[in-house]
Amino acid sequence: MKYLLTHPKLVFFVDEVGDNTSQKHDRNVGGQNILVENNQQALICLSYSNSHFMVLRFTNACSEGVCCVIILMTQMVEAKHILGIEPWAHIEGDPTINFEANSNGIDKHYPHGPTCFYDGKEIAMYITGSENGSITTEILADIMHYLNNQLTIDRDDATPFLLLDGHGS
């Protein structure tokens, strides 16, 4: 039996990827061994602290990005998590005083997170935290509330549908 999807913009999918910033057990960088001269030690910045995180990408059946969600291993999301910091960016004056000039963009000191453009509207990332950096039912409900407020969907025409990959959880 064949089906005709009449409202592909209202069929949403989400899948996640997670990782840990700890490099304690890494033996090399990006699969490459480090080569230095004799009697020298390779100095590589790395983190031994566990800091799990999860990124969820919401898309629709037209393959359009709808929203990016980031879940950090933290109980309190701080401004630095939302703003991000690009240490190699050119800084205009004092970034705390010239905040606007140093914000929102790839080459800005405070680049902010990813945004999506859906149905003519810019949807900012949703960032939150949990004890172990993974999703909870409360976080999923908060995300759905956020998306419901961000998206203007006429439910008289069709009901939105979300398909998630639950991994048995």
Q: How does pLDDT run across 7-43, given as a tens digit for each residue?
A: 999 999 998 888 877 766 655 555 666 777 888 766 6
> Per-residue pLDDT for 163 more than 90?
no
Domain count, the chain: 1
Instruction: Provide the domain limits for residue 97.
Output: 11-16+43-164
In a domain, 125, yes or no: yes
What local confidence, expressed as pLDDT, does residue 122 receive?
Answer: 92
In sequence order, which residues have a C-beta less than 8 Å from that of residue 14 and are 6 or more positions away? 56, 57, 58, 59, 69, 162, 163, 164, 165
Q: Is residue 22 part of a domain?
A: no
64-78, 102-116, 120-134: segment of lowest average pLDDT: 102-116
The reply to whether 149 falls in a domain is yes
- Which sign does the torsion angle of CA 101, 103, 108, 109 carry? positive
Query: Is residue 106, in this structure, part of any structural domain at all?
Result: yes
Burial annotation 45-57 (CB, 10 A radius, 16+ → b, else e): eeeeeeebbbbbb
Confidence at 142, pLDDT banded by 50, 70, 90: very high
- pLDDT at 140 exceeding the cut of 80: yes
Question: Sheet harboring 65-73: ordered strands across?
Answer: 126-130, 65-73, 52-60, 11-20, 161-164
Structural domain contains residue 5: no
Report yes or no on 24 lying in a domain: no
C-alpha 165/C-alpha 56 separation (Å) is 11
For 38-57, the pLDDT digits (tens) are 887 666 655 667 778 899 99
Query: Residue 35 domain-assigned?
Result: no
In a domain, 33, yes or no: no
Residue 68 has pLDDT above 90, yes or no: yes
Structure-token pair, residue 9: 């913009």
So what's the pLDDT on residue 60? 94
The confidence score (pLDDT) of residue 50 equals: 74
> For position 1, what pLDDT does the model report?
67
**Residue 99 corresponds to which tokens in the numbers above?**
């905040």
